[in-house]
Structure 1
C-alpha cells in the first residue's frame, strides 16, 4: 500500500452478465456498506447493457459503477461504440481504458488509449488506464521498458490523482491462474510509481496503482500488501459477490 492513498478494489466483468447477474451487484452493494467503506473504494464495471440498472441498484451504497471502455469522441457515427458521456449519463463514475484485451483484440495503441482517457476526463469520469507486458516481452526482460513506454504514451496531461488510476495487468497473468511473485509485483509498481512521480510530480506520487491478473481471495492479501499496490482490478473473481467481497475485506486486516 501507499501511505495516504485510498485503496480501490475494482471488478471488470468483461463480456459477462445478464439481468440475472444483477443479484450479484445487489449483494455487493449491500456487502460494501459499513466502516470499511470509509477507507476503501469499491467499483464494479459491468457490461454496458447493465450499466444503468447497476447504478440504480447501488444508489444508496458506497459501491461505484463504471464502464469497460469508451470511444475517444463524445458522439458521432461510430456504430456499436459508447462514449464517456453516455457512461456518465447512466451515472457511471469510472471507465477502464487500454485493457490488454482491447489493445490485442482491437489493435488499440497507446495514443488511442491516451485519447480515451482524455475523453473520460472531459466527461468527469475517472479513467483506469491499464498497462502490462506480454509473455514474450517478459521473457525478453522488457517489462520495465514496456511499462515506461505505455505510461509515457497512454497517460494524458490531464491526469491527476483524482481522475486517473493505473492498473498493472501483466498480460500473461490475465485469466491464466498464474500470478507474478510478490517481489515481481513490487519491482513493477515501484518502477511505475517513480515514472508517474517524474512525469506528474505530487499527483503521480498519490495516484493509485492497482494490480490485476488472476487476483483471487486466496492470493489477494499477499498481493495487496505489497508496497505501492493500492488495490486490485479483478476479473473472474468479481463476478460473484462472495469472492469480490472477500477480496475487498482483505483491507479489514491490512488497515487495522
Structure 2
C-alpha cells in the first residue's frame, strides 16, 4: 500500500440486487464508523435501477456510489445507454469503465474505454479504469505488455490523482476464486504506476489510487492490501455481504 494515499474499497454489485438488498448497504453504513472512515474510503456500485435509492439511503454515511459503466455519449438516441451525466444526477461519484466483462462480452476496445473515461471526467465523475490480462496472455508471458498497452490506450490525457482510479483485475481471477501471488501483484502494480508516470507525469501518477480486483475476500485481503502500490480493492461477490465487505475495508485500514 502507498502510505501517502488513502485507500479506496469499491464494491461492484454487477447485475445483482433488488430494492430489498438496500439493507446490505444500510448494514455496511452501520459498520462504517469514524475510525474506519478516517482510514479508508468506501464506495458501492449498484445496478442502475438502484442507484438513486442507494445514494439516498447512504446520505450521511460518507459512503460514495458509482455506476458500473457509462456511455461515451452525453445524450441522444442511444436506447438502453446511461450517460455519465445521468449517473452524476443520481448521486454518483465514480463510474467503472473497461471492466473485463465489458471488454469481453461487449467488445469494448481501449479507445472505447478511454472515451467513456473522458465522458465520466467531463461529468465530474471519477472513472475507475479497469485493466487486466487473460490466462492465455499470462501463460504466454504477455501480461505486462498487455496491461501497459491498456493503460496507454484507456487512460485520458491530463488525468490527475483526483480525477482517476485504476483497477488491475486479471481476467482469469474474476469470480474464479483464483488470485495471483503477492509477487505477481507487486510486479504488475509497479509497472502500472510506471506506465502512468510516462503518460501523466510522475507527480500525477504517484497519487493515483491503484486498486486490485479479482476474487478479493476477507481471507486474502490483508496480504493483497500490504503489497506495494496496492491502494485498495475493487470487490465483486464479497461486496454483496456486508460482513465480508467491511472485513476487506478493515484489512485496508
TM-score of the aligned structures, taking structure 2 as reference length: 0.98
Q: Secondary structure at the match of 1:11?
A: strand
Q: 1:35 offset after TM fit, Å?
A: 1.7
1:122-179 superposed Cα distances (whole Å, 9 cap, x missing partner): 0000000000000110111000100110000000114111011000000000000000
Question: What is aligned with 1:17?
Answer: 17
**Distance (Å, rounded) in 2 between the aligned partners of 1:234 and 1:154:** 21
Question: What is aligned with 1:81?
Answer: 81
1:50-61 matches, within 5 Å, as: 50-61=50-61
Question: What is aligned with 2:112?
Answer: 112
Q: Secondary structure at the match of 1:249?
A: helix
Question: What is aligned with 2:251?
Answer: 250
Conserved in 1, the CA contact under 8 Å of 2:216 and 2:233?
A: yes
Would you say 1:8 and 2:8 are equivalent positions? yes
Q: 1:197 offset after TM fit, Å?
A: 1.3
1:100-121 superposed Cα distances (whole Å, 9 cap, x missing partner): 0000000000000000000000
**Distance (Å, rounded) in 1 between the aligned partners of 2:149 and 2:95:** 22
1:80-99 matches, within 5 Å, as: 80-99=80-99
1:129-140 matches, within 5 Å, as: 129-140=129-140
Conserved in 2, the CA contact under 8 Å of 1:118 and 1:158?
A: no
1:184-195 matches, within 5 Å, as: 184-195=184-195
1:1-256 matches, within 5 Å, as: 1-201=1-201, 202-252=203-253
**Distance (Å, rounded) in 1 between the aligned partners of 2:36 and 2:25:** 18
TM-score of the aligned structures, taking structure 1 as reference length: 0.97
Q: Secondary structure at the match of 2:74?
A: coil
Q: 1:30 offset after TM fit, Å?
A: 2.0
Q: What is the number of equivalent residue pairs in this alignment?
A: 252
Conserved in 1, the CA contact under 8 Å of 2:131 and 2:168?
A: yes
1:215-245 superposed Cα distances (whole Å, 9 cap, x missing partner): 0000000001100000000000000111100
Write out the 4+ residue segments of structure 1 that deviate beyond 2 Å after TM superposition: none
Q: Secondary structure at the match of 1:233?
A: strand
Unaligned runs of at least 5 residues, structure 2: none
Instruction: Between 90-99 and 190-199, report the one with greater CA deviation.
Output: 190-199
**Distance (Å, rounded) in 2 between the aligned partners of 1:87 and 1:156:** 19
Q: Secondary structure at the match of 2:193?
A: helix
